[in-house]
Structure 1
Amino acid sequence: MASAAFEDIAETFEFLDDWEDRYRHVIELGKAMPPLDPAFKVPATKVDGCASQVWLRPVVSGQGPAAVFDFQGDSDAMIVRGLIAILHALYAGLTLAQVGQVDAGFELGRLGLNEHLSAQRSNGVRAMVERIRSVAAV
């Protein structure tokens, strides 16, 4: 289950044969993402387990399982900002119930990220996914 925005990213990745082109595309996605207001770069929004500094600020509209999930995010590393943008495309606009049903490993695997991220970056992506899932599970 992936959003239309994520499907657009997956489609673009299919046309980019070279991983360096994909890497540049991830960075461009990060550059296009609005920065997180510095007021939200606080310990409560910081994601532990990432080599770079990462902040995710959840924004939930409504109540209960039908509430709609969104988040804002930022990082001090451009590639990580791009990974946040990809996760945003994957999760934003889903209900809280749907967030828990997303198989992030499978969806991100479609982009080939598993083979091309360092172990530290992969751990950081897992930490971001866990943060998103934990917020949605509340």
Structure 2
Amino acid sequence: MATEAFDDLADTFDFLDDWEDRYRHVIEIGKAFPPLPEALKVPATKVEGCASQVWIVPRIDAGAFDFAGESDAMIVRGLIAVLHALYAGLTPDEVLKVDAQAELTRIGLSDHLSAQRSNGVRAMIERIRAFAAGNA
């Protein structure tokens, strides 16, 4: 189960020929992702387990899950945008049903991230799922 935004991202990844182009695309969508206000970059929103500085601020708006986020690393900021495409707009129950690893494998990200980045993505997914579980 994936959102239309994630399906569009998967289609773009299919179109791009190599991983260098795909990494560039991830960085570009990260640059386009709205910055997190400095006031929200606090210990409570920081995601532990990431090599980079990462903050995620989840919320429920009219029954739909959404989150703001940011990182000090451009590729990680792009990975935040990828996760946003995967989850934003779903209900908390739907968020819990998403097989994030399968979806990231579908676009090839699981095979092309370093161990540290993979651990960071897992930590971000855990934060998202924990928030959704508390609001389901």
TM-score band by shorter chain is over 0.9
Aligned twin of 1:70: 66
* Distance (Å, rounded) in 2 between the aligned partners of 1:91 and 1:106: 14
Q: Would you say 1:34 and 2:30 are equivalent positions?
A: no
Q: Does 1:125 align with 2:121?
A: yes
What SS is found at the alignment partner of 1:60?
A: strand
1:51 corresponds to which residue? Answer: 51
Cα distance in structure 2, aligned partners of 1:116 and 1:3: 22
Give the ranges of 4+ consecutive aligned residues of structure 1 lying more than 6 Å apart after TM superposition.
none
Question: Secondary structure, in 3 states, of the residue corresponding to 2:97?
Answer: coil
The separation in 1 between residues aligned to 2:82 and 2:18, in whole angstroms, is 18
Query: Could you say which residue in structure 2 is the equivalent of 1:136?
Result: 132
Q: Could you tell me which residue of structure 1 aligns to residue 92 of structure 2?
A: 96
User: Could you tell me the TM-score, scaled by structure 1's length?
Assistant: 0.95
Amino acid at match of 1:81: R
Q: Kindly provide the CA deviation profile for residues 76-118 of structure 1, in whole angstroms up to 9, marking residues without a partner as x.
A: 0000000000000000000011000000000011111111100
1:113 aligns with 109
Q: Percent same amino acid among aligned pairs?
A: 72
2-side partners of 1:20 and 1:122: how far apart?
18
The one-letter code of the counterpart of 1:119 is: A
Q: How many angstroms apart in 2 are the aligned matches of 1:75 and 1:39? A: 14
Work out the number of aligned pairs and report it.
Answer: 134
- C-alpha deviation, 1:61, in angstroms: 2.0
Distance of 2:118 and 2:48 partners within structure 1: 13
Deviation by residue 1:21-76 (Cα, 9 ceiling, x = unmatched): 000000001000010000000000000000000000012124xxxx2110000000
Alignment-derived partner of residue 18 in structure 2? 18
Alignment-mate amino acid for residue 49 of structure 1: G
Distance 1:11 1:21 in 2: 14
